[in-house]
Amino acid sequence: MLVKYMKTHIKSLILFAVFSVSILTVVLVFDADIRPVLYGLVICIFLGGVLAAWDFSRYCDKHELLVFAEKEITETMDHLPVPGDLLEEDYTNIVKSSFDDRMRLSFENSRNYEEMTEYYTIWAHQIKTPIAAMRLILQTEPDTPAMREISDELFKIEQYVEMVLCYLRLDGVSDFVIKPCSLDEIIKQAVRKYASQFIRTRNRLVYGGTDVVAVTDEKWLGFIVEQVLSNALKYTDGGEIKIAAEDSALVISDTGMGIAPEDLPRIFEKGYTGYNGRADKKSTGIGLYLCSRIADKIGCSISAQSECGRGTTIRIELGDLTKM
């Protein structure tokens, strides 16, 4: 701190040294009595030292105030120190102008985001009506391969709508309700939802029940389980999907194509599709990202292990699981 202070006043120190040397030089050249001059220099040095100490104290106080203001400036500028001169006042005005512009842009972005969120929320709810109507129409049609294919595509649309709603609600902290939940009820609901997909992909489900209770959010954990099942069914054909509780985790494994080693560390990144997603050409790279975000929100974690050609295992760490 002292070194930086001296650097800011180096011109004054050099000027004082030049004046002192000049006066002493004049006294020596004219062979005058040097004692009064030395007394004067000593008094000047003493008074200058006192003044410098007082100014250094103000310098430190202002520095501490600016450090504190730097942390609070995202919300308010009330903690900025009072300008000491015209230049400091100019700098303060520049900072205030930048702060006002940033706050205005922040308000506009927040308002635009709220309007966009409101629009897509309304859109997602409204589109459920024609989807339900199409589902009812399909139920009245003969069970043909074409109708089954249309039903599968409609199911995908329903999934995408649910993902949109999840994405919009994700930052709504009030939407999370943590309480003891039956893990089997969550799993069974997800399995029933994807029953037709199990039949279409000819995959065998291995699930004997868990008989445990987890303290979590039932709806959001259900979304995670559904997304993991969706991925397992998408990349497994004529294989096996196993669901079980192991220690403190819910484990969902499949015998599908697996994940490339270079893709595995990045599968929970937003928008990352990897080799399988690029080959499928329909993957959005959002599902597992949402799972990871939701897991953080409800206090659990999600991880993956995989081997190409031998399947993938997803572990959802839930903490303490209690037997029913």
Q: What is the pLDDT of residues 86-125, one digit of tens each?
A: 777 887 788 888 888 888 888 888 888 888 888 888 888 8
pLDDT in the model for residue 204: 94
pLDDT tens-digit map of 139-154:
888 888 888 888 888 9
Region of residue 254 (phi > 0: left; psi between -120 and 50: alpha; otherwise: beta): beta
pLDDT class for 52, splitting at 50, 70, 90? confident
- Report the C-alpha gap between 203 and 199 in whole angstroms: 7
pLDDT at 206: 94
User: What percent of the chain has a predicted confidence (pLDDT) above 90?
Assistant: 25
Collapsing DSSP states into helix, strand and coil, what is residue 211?
Answer: coil
Q: Is the pLDDT of residue 291 over 80?
A: yes
240 pairs with which residues across the strands?
Answer: 204
Burial class (CB in 10 A: 0-12, 13-18, 19+), 120: middle
Whether residue 168 has pLDDT greater than 60: yes
Instruction: Count other Cβ atoms within 10 Å, centred on residue 86.
Output: 8
pLDDT at 17 over 90: no
Identify the pLDDT of residue 324. 63
pTM of the model: 0.67
* Cα 20 to Cα 28: distance, rounded to the nearest angstrom: 12
The predicted pLDDT at position 244 comes to 93
What gap in Å lies between CA 319 and CA 301, rounded to an integer? 9
Residue 220 clears pLDDT 70, i.e. is over it: yes
Predicted confidence at residue 228, as pLDDT, reads 94
Tokens of 185: 């009820």
The distance from CA 57 to its chain's CA centroid, rounded to whole angstroms, is 41
The bridge status of strand 301-307 relative to strand 311-317 is antiparallel
Cβ burial 172-200 (10 Å sphere, 16+ → b, else e): eeeebeeeebebbebbeebbebbeebbeb
Virtual torsion, Cα 256, 262, 266, 267, nearest 10 deg: -10
Cα torsion 62, 63, 66, 67 to 10°: value is -150
- For residue 175, what pLDDT is reported? 67
pLDDT at 21: 82
User: In the prediction, which pLDDT does 63 show?
Assistant: 76
Mean pLDDT for all residues in the chain: 84
